[in-house]
């Protein structure tokens, strides 16, 4: 007898959460970004009529969408300037690396697909496969919009956070280039009807002053 669906779900959840933990240890910026993307995509899935458990599964995939970055060298990962062609090529391996890690753990193809294809573009100019339009799994198309929205509205060492309005305009401009236009429509409608949709970015400096240098109280 095989494992029951519930047991399988629990195992998958544990595997994915342990990978999320490894991302947290390796790269706190990516981890916090992934948490916000998971929340956005879960809300989007519910808005599009996905069941609670389907939406939760997509959120789990979002938590590890950049898992492959844990295998990218620090000097590339944390580089604040433009990447060279070779560095970019390595960076663009991260969806494949992440998918391979999940396949190695026998994770259901639903999660593998979402991770593998989250940098595909609606017009076919994305990576790693160059899939186009509806050939890109729906999970990945949703993840792409949530992912980019968070990148745009977050502060990074090399860029300021855009306002919700500015991010909105850029996403509309890239609809049908990078994004499925129907997903963009749904995401923006959801954004409009949800007060406080955009999650605050945790203050990295606040965290650092808490732990570096350590206070005596911490011991
Ligand atoms: Fe990514």
- Listed by start position, the domains of the chain span 5-198
Q: How far is the CA of 87 from the centre of ligand 1 (A)?
A: 15
User: Under CATH, which number does the domain 5-198 receive?
Assistant: 1.10.3210.10
Q: How far is the CA of 49 from the centre of ligand 1 (A)?
A: 25
Q: Convert the pLDDT of each residue in 181-191 to its tens digit.
A: 999 999 999 99
Lowest-confidence range among 16-25, 94-103, 109-118, 203-212? 203-212
pLDDT at 213 > cutoff 80: no
For the segment 73-88, the average pLDDT, to the nearest whole number, is 88
Q: How far is the CA of 51 from the centre of ligand 1 (A)?
A: 25
Question: What integer pLDDT is reported at residue 3 of this predicted model?
Answer: 60
Q: How far is the CA of 209 from the centre of ligand 1 (A)?
A: 29
pLDDT at 210 > cutoff 90: no
Question: What integer pLDDT is reported at residue 212 of this predicted model?
Answer: 35
Q: How far is the CA of 66 from the centre of ligand 1 (A)?
A: 5
What is the rounded average pLDDT for all residues in the chain?
90
For the segment 28-40, the average pLDDT, to the nearest whole number, is 95
pLDDT at 157 > cutoff 80: no
Q: How far is the CA of 5 from the centre of ligand 1 (A)?
A: 29
pLDDT at 208 > cutoff 60: no
CA distances from 119 to 5, 51, 157 (A): 30, 25, 22
Helix or strand (DSSP H, E) at 112: helix 109-116
How sure is the predictor about 124, in pLDDT bands with cuts at 50, 70 and 90? very high
Question: What integer pLDDT is reported at residue 15 of this predicted model?
Answer: 96
Q: How far is the CA of 26 from the centre of ligand 1 (A)?
A: 15
Question: What integer pLDDT is reported at residue 217 of this predicted model?
Answer: 32
For the segment 20-41, the average pLDDT, to the nearest whole number, is 95
Q: Which residues touch 19 (CB under 8 Å, ≥6 apart)?
A: 63, 64, 67, 101, 102
Q: How far is the CA of 111 from the centre of ligand 1 (A)?
A: 14
Distance of alpha carbon 41 from alpha carbon 75, whole angstroms: 30
For the segment 118-126, the average pLDDT, to the nearest whole number, is 98
Q: How far is the CA of 95 from the centre of ligand 1 (A)?
A: 6
Question: What integer pLDDT is reported at residue 204 of this predicted model?
Answer: 52
pLDDT at 28 > cutoff 60: yes
Q: Which residue has the higher pLDDT, 32 or 219?
A: 32
């Amino acid at each position: 007898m095989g494992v029951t669906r519930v047991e399988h779900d629990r195992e998958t959840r544990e595997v994915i959460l342990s990978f999320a933990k490894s991302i947290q240890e390796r790269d706190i910026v990516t981890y916090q970004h992934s948490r916000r993307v998971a929340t956005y995509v879960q809300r989007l899935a519910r808005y599009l009529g996905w069941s609670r458990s389907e939406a939760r599964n997509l959120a789990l995939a979002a938590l590890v969408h950049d898992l492959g970055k844990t295998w990218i060298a620090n000097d590339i990962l944390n580089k604040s300037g433009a990447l060279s062609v070779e560095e970019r090529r390595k960076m663009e391996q991260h969806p494949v690396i992440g998918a391979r890690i999940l396949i190695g753990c026998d994770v259901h193809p639903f999660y593998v697909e979402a991770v593998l294809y989250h940098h595909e573009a609606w017009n076919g100019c994305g990576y790693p496969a160059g899939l186009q339009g509806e050939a890109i799994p729906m999970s990945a198309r949703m993840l792409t919009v949530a992912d980019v929205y968070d990148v745009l509205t977050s502060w990074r060492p090399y860029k300021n956070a855009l306002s919700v309005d500015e991010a909105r305009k850029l996403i509309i401009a890239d609809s049908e280039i990078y994004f499925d236009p129907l997903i963009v429509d749904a995401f923006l409608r959801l954004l409009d009807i949800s007060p406080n949709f955009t999650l605050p970015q945790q203050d990295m400096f606040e965290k650092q002053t808490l732990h570096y240098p350590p206070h005596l109280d911490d011991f």
